[in-house]
Structure 1
Amino acid sequence: MIECSSDCVEVKGVLNKHDNALEQLKKLVENLDVIPNENYLKRFLYGADFNVDEAFKKIKSSKEHMLDQHDWYRKDGPLKLKEFIEKDIRAVLPDCDKDGRPIYLVKNGNIDVSTMSLFDVVAVDDVWIESILMERPEAAAKGLCVIIDIKDQSWKLSKWMQPNLIKQSIRKTDNLPFKDFKVHVVNNSWWISIGIKMMWPFLPQKFKDMMHFHFNNLESFYEYIDKEVLPIEYGGLKEVKYAQLYEKLYERNDQIFESFSQYRNYKN
């Protein structure tokens, strides 16, 4: 008879705990009309350290917001959003920050409000985030690192800073499975101080606490993300081929669309 080591017993214990939590969560979501897609449920469990009640609370809140605000939860796959994706407004970088969070790059200077709406941009965010969590639901336990590049950001984006839109954006972000967020603002824009003043009063304290304003001080930025994983345009050493990242995203079009169709099962 082969005896299991203490490490093996510990691993089995963790796996059993995870399996039990998943089964409990499946039963809880039955009344929410949520299809018990295991990947979808696992991401919330990882983000809540497998606290079933906390995971359920976030799924419930997300479902309620979804039913109330359809425009914030479109079901588009990445191929339908190709014209916006290839404007280089968003990308998930290949590596992680120093604490293991996936890195999501937001280039607000490339947003053209004359050709895309706020909800087009939100839909692009959704497919990128879905691509992370479909492949690695455990990434939710690490959190998400967001780099917001405000270079050349147009003052026209200020029309998206209305109190109700900010409120809905906060609510949606708060319902994402990630355990936490670290947001790094880099570069500068002549009107950004005005934009920050407009938004700041409407942000909950926990959102203010996650913000790091580096602007043009990239040395402080490197304290959180190694230069080796950053694109060259941010003083990093990584040659990031964005077109290849987009192609990989398009390859997952059917999976992403199917996933949205399952848990975004509201009536259009």
Structure 2
Amino acid sequence: MTFLRPLPAGLQKIAIEELNEVPDRVESDISSLRIWLQKQPHLSACMEDQFLLSFLRGSKFSLEKAKQKIDRFYTLQAVIPEVFNEHRLVDDPQVLEIIRMGVILRIPLDKGDTGPAVTIIRVGSYDTQKFKFQDIIRVGSMFGEIMMFEDDNATVSGYMEIMDMTGVTAANLFALQPQLLSKFSAYADEAMPTRQKGIHFINVPRAFETGFKSLLSWFPGKIRERVSVSADPEAIFERVSREYLPVEYGGTKGSIQDLTEEMESKLGSYRSYFEGTQIFGINEQLREEQRLPGNSHESHFGVDGSFRLLAID
């Protein structure tokens, strides 16, 4: 049994009241989930305690739901190969360049804060001739998994994404790959153990409002309900306290470069995990059951993980 990080008091209270967490039973719950995974011939998964605990919290400590979610986590990764591929390594040049450009910013919260974790995605800050949107999502997915290991706000209170559309051009919008955006949104909702609390688009150019609304139709319905759109540059302060934001956003917490340097260092500390993800996954040939019991809920993916196109409004 590896060391389990204790929760701060405020988050522990939420975990008990909203996620059905019983602190004295956490280790045995993790052990039960690990034993089940070891008996699944089709499934090669990370077995670390904090990783498994994130799935239990994301399933409100229902062991059966945690089994379903971790199975879907790897099943659905397999059908988004443009994101989950051999480039998900900490020293991949493309990954490092995207981090250093500050396209994705993880915003640290104070220890006593019980709110959702925050990520800012600067959509207009990368060269669409050099990178595809799938490359940006790939790096985002890596930090999403790091959140599962060490961001207690994300595993208990969920997370929100701030999509900063400053400087966005028609080329950026065309590069967004709406079908991929739809697939990855469904994956985040159905398979990730951290709960998505909102996607907030800020600084949306008024010239793109009509086209942008069409883009939103690609989001799954449940995700669409959590989306907000604003052209107001002050809208970010409605979601994130100034004290957490870098100076470029009118905050007081260092600079974007400070954040990117911290992120690159953090990613480097997960070298062994991301090397391991190259062998984690699903082998459908070895699956003993066609589907997990109770796993027949409506999904944007079929039982075998193949993506089903969404209807466009």
Aligned residue identity for 2:123:
N
Query: Where does residue 56 of structure 1 map in the other structure?
Result: 67
Is 2:269 the partner of 1:252? yes
Query: Residues 245 and 265 (structure 1 numbering): CA distance in 2 closer, same or farther, change over 3 Å?
Result: farther
Higher helix share: 1
Mapping 1:181-220, distance limit 5 Å: 181-216=197-232, 218=234, 220=235
CA shift for structure 1 position 16:
3.6
Query: Where does residue 192 of structure 2 map in the other structure?
Result: 176
5+ residue gaps, structure 2: 1-15, 285-313
Aligned residue identity for 1:93:
I
Query: Where does residue 4 of structure 1 map in the other structure?
Result: none
CA shift for structure 1 position 161:
4.8
CA contact (8 A) 1:130 1:256 kept: no
Match of 1:118 among 116, 127, 133: 133
Provide the rounded CA distance (Å) in 2 between the counterparts of 1:82 and 1:171: 26
Query: Residues 137 and 60 (structure 1 numbering): CA distance in 2 closer, same or farther, change over 3 Å?
Result: farther
CA shift for structure 1 position 162:
5.0
Aligned residue identity for 1:34:
S
Mapping 1:90-239, distance limit 5 Å: 90-95=104-109, 99-136=114-151, 139-162=154-177, 164-174=179-189, 175-216=191-232, 218=234, 220-239=235-254
CA contact (8 A) 1:105 1:147 kept: yes
Provide the rounded CA distance (Å) in 2 between the counterparts of 1:101 and 1:88: 21
Aligned residue identity for 2:230:
H
CA shift for structure 1 position 191:
4.5
Query: Residues 266 and 233 (structure 1 numbering): CA distance in 2 closer, same or farther, change over 3 Å?
Result: farther
Aligned residue identity for 1:260:
T
CA contact (8 A) 1:84 1:124 kept: yes
Query: Residues 249 and 195 (structure 1 numbering): CA distance in 2 closer, same or farther, change over 3 Å?
Result: farther
Provide the rounded CA distance (Å) in 2 between the counterparts of 1:44 and 1:159: 35
Provide the rounded CA distance (Å) in 2 between the counterparts of 1:127 and 1:43: 15
Identity over the aligned pairs, expressed in percent? 19
CA contact (8 A) 1:73 1:123 kept: yes
Query: Where does residue 83 of structure 1 map in the other structure?
Result: 97
Provide the rounded CA distance (Å) in 1 between the counterparts of 2:280 and 2:117: 23
Root-mean-square deviation (Å): 2.9
CA contact (8 A) 1:78 1:250 kept: yes
Match of 1:45 among 36, 43, 56: 56
Query: Residues 164 and 221 (structure 1 numbering): CA distance in 2 closer, same or farther, change over 3 Å?
Result: closer
Query: Residues 168 and 244 (structure 1 numbering): CA distance in 2 closer, same or farther, change over 3 Å?
Result: same
CA contact (8 A) 2:202 2:231 kept: yes
TM-score, structure 2 as length reference: 0.71
The size of the alignment, in residue pairs, is 255
Aligned residue identity for 2:261:
Q
CA shift for structure 1 position 91:
1.7
Provide the rounded CA distance (Å) in 1 between the counterparts of 2:45 and 2:216: 37
Provide the rounded CA distance (Å) in 2 between the counterparts of 1:83 and 1:105: 17
CA shift for structure 1 position 229:
1.1
CA shift for structure 1 position 259:
4.4
CA shift for structure 1 position 135:
2.5
> Which secondary structure state, in structure 1, belongs to the residue aligned with residue 161 of structure 2?
strand
> Which secondary structure state, in structure 2, belongs to the residue aligned with residue 71 of structure 1?
coil
CA contact (8 A) 1:25 1:52 kept: yes
CA shift for structure 1 position 156:
1.7
Provide the rounded CA distance (Å) in 1 between the counterparts of 2:153 and 2:109: 15
1:7-34 alpha-carbon deviations (Å, 9 max, x no partner): xxxx9x9234222322232233332413
1:31-58 alpha-carbon deviations (Å, 9 max, x no partner): 2413351232221112222222222222
CA contact (8 A) 2:99 2:263 kept: yes
Query: Where does residue 4 of structure 2 map in the other structure?
Result: none
Query: Residues 161 and 126 (structure 1 numbering): CA distance in 2 closer, same or farther, change over 3 Å?
Result: closer
